[in-house]
Chains A and B, each alone.
Chain A
Amino acid sequence: MRRGTRFLPLWILLALFAAGVTAVQRKLDRDRSVHFVDTRPVFLPNGKLLRWMSMGHTASFADVLWIQSVLYFGRRTLEDENPYYRYAIERGMLARELAGVSRPEVRIPSNPGFETLHTKLHRGFVSRGLVREIYPLLDRVTTLDPHFIHPYIFGGVYVLMDTGELDAAESLLLRGHRENPGSWKLAFYLGWYYWMFRGDVDQSRAYMERAVAVPGCPDYVFSLLRGVTRQANAWDLTIQYLRGILESTDNPEIRKKIQKELEALEEARK
């Protein structure tokens, strides 16, 4: 028999097995997509254990967890543009989910001029309370790779604006600043945090001073510090702060979010 035809039955078997495996895979994928919106980190060893488990590859482990955080956040952001969110709405899967969320109590500082902005922000917090579990993830990421600056900012600024998790964001930013005293950004964001969410001008000024002490700190942080020191108009200062943040990042997602806040603020001011 010729070589080609002799193995024909085996080739057929091979094709059958391949088709079978693919079919099962597709079936599994179909079933799984139903639970997509529910995806959340199930079990995470604490940061120290993860450090050990990484066997020195801490940065790569951190990257993987970071990507997970981003994906998790992306899936659970309640926006009309989010396909996962739309899918969940269609299936009527969100009611139970939302009922289970205990919304954070947002203590709005009694800082004159903030009310409008904060009322708006608070609404945001209330409607977007589904991403709280991101903080444990970011905690792992930053423990694994304490010099990876962005996760601190992501959790301390960006996620904060969605969740209102003031305490978690604060501790993340503080740890970031402790680990990276040479980064003006973290000091600057802390200054913003205390001004914006705690109404604590003294703390804010203290961190801004630390920020400008770092070589390479851009000019707008200096002018912000001057504004804080002079106790300038709260509206102006808030807008200036948000512009500074806009300035400090080239991440399109963050810029989009800040721009929205800026627009809202300027709208309210009119």
Chain B
Amino acid sequence: MRILAVASNTFKETIRNRILVNILLFAVFLILLSLVVGEWSMGHQVKVIKDFGLSAMSLFGLLIAVFIGIRLMVQEMEQRTIYLILSKPIRRWEFVLGKYLGLAATLAVNVALMAAALWAVGLIQEGRVDLSLIPAILLIYLEILLIVAFALLFSTITSPTLAAVFTLCVYVIGHTTAFIREFITVHPDKGAHWLLRIIYLVMPNLENLNLKAAAVEHAALPPHAAAFGGLYGLGYIAFVLTLTVLIFENKDLK
């Protein structure tokens, strides 16, 4: 109930955000642009549109996650609204979770709109709605949610600017860990490998949530790759949120 109240309030807050509208418009514009670019691809418009569409979803989702995700807590503290809310009979974890879920709802609307734009363009080009993209889109959504969780975590412990830098670092590292694993496999046991192994296991592997290319080409995947990818994403989100709550519970709101 309380979580829901905070969530619906955050939803109202973020859905009215101008940044969001701008980013969304730009994303839709890019998806439309892929129509034109696709023309040059020698008969692969549909593939190009889908690839670009999914990339746009993921990238603009990332932008929203960083810009709005970090503002989420920072704004509460800068505007001192948080003093008012947290003096009410609401637990801090409820507040954090409510905020998170509110933004998650906004992002869901956002991803849904971009998907609708992508499908509409696909319908024009292909004459059908390619529903096989759904797992990839769901995983893009989870990736965005994971990035938001990190943004929330960093914004509770450091300044907004640093938090944005750290969050982007997570994105870069998240798409690098797969290469670390490759390195470990190809060059077996050398000096600092234990360190690499730890980095590999601790850092999020965002490639687990990346089915973009595979979905467009209907490529064969390991069984339940999407399901396990989703499970991995949810688990990691739960981990980061718990860490955020842990830090936030003991934070002095000076």
A residues whose Cβ falls under 8 Å from a Cβ of B: 48, 51-52, 55-60, 62-63, 66-67, 70-71, 145, 147-150, 154, 182, 250-253
A96 to chain B, nearest CB (A): 29
Within 8 Å by CB of A70, from B42, B59, B214, lies B42
A150 to B45, CA, bound (A): 13
A251 to B172, CA, bound (A): 38
Rounded to whole Å, the gap between the CB of B53 and the closest CB of chain A is 9
> A250 to chain B: which residues have CB within 8 Å?
43
Mark contacts of B45-71 with chain A using CB atoms, 8 A cut-off: 1 yes-contact digit, 0 otherwise: 001100110110011000000000000
Q: How far is the CA of A51 from the CA of B40 in the complex (A)?
A: 23
Q: Is B212's beta carbon under 8 Å from chain A?
A: yes
* Cross-chain pairs A/B with CB under 8 angstroms, 24 sampled: A51-B179, A52-B175, A56-B58, A56-B175, A56-B206, A59-B47, A59-B51, A59-B55, A59-B216, A60-B51, A60-B54, A62-B51, A62-B213, A66-B41, A66-B44, A67-B37, A67-B40, A67-B48, A147-B214, A148-B47, A150-B42, A150-B44, A154-B42, A250-B43
Question: Is residue B176 within 8 Å, beta carbon to beta carbon, of the partner chain?
Answer: yes
Known A-B contacts A52-B179, A55-B172; the reply to A71 vs B212 at CB < 8 A is: no
Grouping DSSP codes into helix (H, G, I), strand (E, B) and loop, the B interface class, with mixed when no group exceeds half, is helix
- Least distance between B92 CB and chain A CB atoms (Å): 34
Q: In the complex, what residue of chain B is closest to A48 when comparing beta carbons?
A: B179
**CA of A250 to CA of B42 in the docked complex: distance in angstroms?**
11
Q: Give A252 to B51 CA distance when docked, in angstroms.
A: 23
**In the docked arrangement, what's the CA distance between A11 and B43, Å?**
46
Is B213 in contact with A147, judged by CB distance below 8 angstroms? yes
Say whether B219 faces chain A, with CB atoms less than 8 Å apart.
yes
Q: Which residues of A contact B37 (CB under 8 A)?
A: 63, 67
CA distance A60 to B59 in the complex (A): 12
Cβ of B106 under 8 Å from chain A: no
Contacts of A60 in B (CB 8 A): 51-52, 54-55, 212
Q: Is B198 an interface residue (CB 8 A)?
A: no
Q: Decide: A55 and B47 in contact? CB cutoff 8 A.
A: no
Chain A contacts of B42 at CB under 8 A? 70, 150, 154, 251, 253
Query: Is B154 part of the contact surface with A, judged by Cβ < 8 Å?
Result: no
* Contact A63:B52 (CB < 8 A) given known A145-B213, A147-B214: yes
A67-B37, A149-B217 given. 10 additional CB < 8 A pairs? A55-B171, A56-B206, A59-B216, A60-B55, A62-B213, A63-B47, A70-B42, A145-B217, A150-B42, A150-B44
In the complex, are the beta carbons of B214 and A56 less than 8 A apart?
Answer: no
Q: Using Cβ atoms and an 8 Å threshold, which residues of chain B touch A145?
A: 213, 217
Closest CB of chain A to B114's CB: distance in Å?
14
Q: Which of B48, B210, B220 contacts A56 (CB 8 A)?
A: B210
- Complex CA–CA separation, A48 to B48 (angstroms): 21
Q: Are A63 and B175 neighbours in the complex by a CB distance under 8 Å?
A: no
